[in-house]
Amino acid sequence: MAANVNSSEFTHATQLFADKTAANAWRTSMTVFDASTSTEGVVKQCTHVADMTAIDGTSVDSGASAADQLTMGTLDFTSDADVKTAFITLAEKINYLTYRLEQAGIMASS
């Protein structure tokens, strides 16, 4: 994905920089447009993805309330209750990820 870099224009026909300070000033003037869902910038922002709110009637934490699930523990996947627990844990992790993508500006806010 391409992105345009903006910077101040050179002013002399044959000399790039008068000195080191001028070179560093030009370097620090470079910027890249912010991303949106319709224009590319540092990244192209994706549209918002709705959080999962419930699995089999059980609420799932979302947004800032969702936890960054690190472990799932030992589960018996022949048990319907444990399979449901696994799905809820994974849904909460996905909700947390989408929240963090919003906070980083990579995904549009809800």
pLDDT of residue 56: 92
User: Mean per-residue pLDDT for 62-76?
Assistant: 81
Domain range annotation of the chain = 1-47, 54-103
Residue 1: is its pLDDT beyond 60? no
Q: Which whole-number Å values give the CA distances from 31 to 49, 84, 110, in the listed order?
A: 28, 47, 27
Q: Answer yes or no: pTM beyond 0.85.
A: no
Tens digits of residue pLDDT in 9-67: 888 888 888 899 988 988 888 888 777 777 777 777 888 889 999 999 999 988 878 87
| DSSP-assigned beta bridge partners for residue 88 | none
CB 32 within 8 A of CB 42: yes
User: Mean per-residue pLDDT for 69-78?
Assistant: 83
